[in-house]
Structure 1
Amino acid sequence: MPGSTVAQLAAQIPDGAKIAVPPDYSGVAMELTRAMIRRGVRNLHVVCVPVSGLQTDLLIGAGCVATLETSAVTLGEYGGAPRFAAGLKCKAFRMMDATCPAVHAAIQAAGKGLPFMPLRGLLGSDLLKNRPDWQVIDNPFAAEKDPIVLLPAIRPDIAVFHAPFADRNGNVFIGRRRELVAMAHASAVSLITVEEIRDVDLLATEESAAGTLTAAYIGDIAVAPCGAWPVKLWDIYDYDDAHMRRYLELARSDEGFTHYLAEFVQPRQAAE
């Protein structure tokens, strides 16, 4: 049965790791993110599958990110991501701009063991000028000229996300969030936080097995009640509206963000 702490999971994410993180609607490991910041992780290559919000904004503001690969970083209805915007302006990290289909295709290529994945929809966009790793070739099966873009597979070192529960055997229930499956298949290992461990076997029935990520793809699991807070977790709990608005207010300035870290991120250190 899984028994690690969140701090122990954070200790398994080395400086310079390429990590895959999901969108807010899938299950964001916010408590693990705060533990990573407390540990002082640096030079991460963050791959958003395909977008991110508060999680990536926090990591950027805390100086943890060296490279960012994403199609967007936004706080949604709460507004823009202030630390992301500030980091772009001062070139605090390398930006690898992408699109949602491009990220998904490249992640799927890694999961299938392929070196690349073709994608047509990028043709004619300015993105191709800024992504020298994306190559345009002629379709070798076409009788006439037929350009197509080849995207190199994205192979993260670690997939990081939060889910409602795991079973006693280390299988994790991910429901219909198939991007979590794609992340886990593409990554060398997955580090996952959950609301609880249940004394069940998720692979015992067809119904539960269909929404389960098996333990074969998981490196470690830690229990973190409300581990996505202040971001929502599926239909289990919603955004903490007051906290999100407070974050946006503080994170607009360097001084305000430092105050946020001191108040909401660092205090847990003594408990660990």
Structure 2
Amino acid sequence: MNRRHNSAKALEAFGNLRKAGFRNISIDLIFGFESLSTEEWRRNIELAIELSPEHLSCYQLGIEKGTKLYRSYMDGSYDPLPDEGSNSQYALLQELLFQAGYVQYEISSFCKPGLESRHNSSYWDFTPYFGFGPSAHSFDGVGREWNDKGINKYIFGWGQGIRGFKSEQLTLRDHLNEFIMLSLRTVKGMEILELSRLLDNYAGSSYSTQTTPQIAEFKNNLHTLLKQGLLHQTPTHIQIPPHNLFLSDTLIRTLFVASLG
């Protein structure tokens, strides 16, 4: 993957952190690429478990424009692993980490009990945050800002008393769809009361009355996914069951609420 480090250096870095006294370490794993066999992936997971990190973030390999992998994909020298293979590797990840005592609390996130990432969790529950430095993002609950990405431009601007940034304000639809997307990433899922409140705000009427085609379509899609077992409802939340989390992108897109026009 054209990384500047190898597995030996990663293991060395982890050991150095432990020797330095760090007692809360997170590591990243990547799966879902063509040269990774199931047995190799199993060994990677087992090695990670032996290290006993407090947290793991585990991602399916994505193909991003501008990267060497993207160029290889475009010229036909790289073929992505089919979704069936990636799904199988994801299921193995869930199984082995569960057996080792890790808790899955989000699509890509696993931790020892009680050690969820407070930083990442703030994004998923709409906690306001400040970002400092080039490209850093901030969120105040209703809008976002992001600083200039060039470090020289960023430093020069501050030297002139100018803060270079761009911003956006979330519409009611933006907020609703981001709530659907971010909360369904978590194992806890969407809080039904908050979903109802956001739908009320968006439609300007009661969720239960289905007064707009957009809300009616949302409710119909939600009912269908629940009936098919792709979603699960508790008295307080609507969730993607752990065995369906690999399908999360498709399920979330199905629930996005259309514009009122």
**TM-score, with structure 2 as normaliser:** 0.28
Greater RCO, CA 8 A, separation 6+: 1
How does the TM-score come out when normalised to structure 1?
Answer: 0.27
Rg larger for: 2
Larger fraction in strand: 1
Structure (1/2) with the larger helix percentage: 2
